[in-house]
Amino acid sequence: MVTPPSAGSLDALRVAFDRPLDRALLEHCLVVTRGDGEVVGGVGAPLDGDSGWRFAPSTRWSAGSHALVVDGMLEDLAGNSVTRVFDRELDDLFAHRFDYVDWVELKRENRSTIGFLEPEWNDFDRLTPATKLIHNTKRRTQPWKTGLKVDYYPVDTVKYFRPWIWLMAARRKLFGNYGLLGHYQPHPDPNQEHFFFGLLRECLDQGIVTEALLREHMKRDYIRHDALALLQRTAPLQVGSLAA
């Protein structure tokens, strides 16, 4: 539902949705234009737990028609957008109506809607207040594994360089799946280590995780062997405590 402002006023335009939307997208996917297509200057911000949007103009509203332009990337928390229903795509995927690889590689999407993400997304080595996603899959710097032997499968294939495939196959046959892969190294950003062990400390303090469980996982090399000592040195997490 849209609550329009009065012409000649500086009142905010308000929009109410029937469900919460993705906040990061909501902050960037709505634009107000005049009848001639010119963008109206101002500041938009989510409202009501991301179930609404408020736009404050920088100048008084002019008389005449206006439009609220919605980017097709805007989604709710389940991934449904104004152009497609995510749950329906999942049903089609599990019914084998299209190929999974085409789906994850965005080959079914309109190419004009695909672009580069900001550095804060899927970042490997930095954790700041602006970070939106941390990625540690198949990384030698997983902060909870420092010092342990590497126990993930490295990429065995390098396009156009078959000798690498032969070397990896020989390594596995002679030394096992993880042979000669070395050890996990300290993460270059201490914020990531503090973040993980700060969360783990909260779980331990609240009884969600027990010390006995941690010791068992340390014995199995699921978590670094100095985890308990590190937890004792880890300060509780505070909102906004990350270094920029």
Question: In the chain, what are the domain boundaries?
Answer: 2-70, 84-115, 117-148+183-244
Q: What is the DSSP letter of 48?
A: T
CA atoms of 107 and 132, how far apart (whole Å): 24
* Residue pLDDT, tens place only, 62-115: 999 999 999 888 888 877 777 766 667 778 888 888 888 888 888 888 888 788
CA atoms of 175 and 73, how far apart (whole Å): 47
pLDDT score at 160: 58
pTM: 0.53
pLDDT band at 228 (very low <50, low <70, confident <90, very high): very high
* Residue pLDDT, tens place only, 111-144: 887 888 887 887 778 888 888 888 787 888 999 9
Q: What number of other Cβ atoms are within 10 A of residue 209's Cβ? A: 16
pLDDT score at 87: 67
pLDDT > 90 fraction of the chain, expressed in percent and rounded:
43
CA atoms of 23 and 44, how far apart (whole Å): 12
- Specify the 3-state DSSP secondary structure of 236: coil
pLDDT score at 146: 94
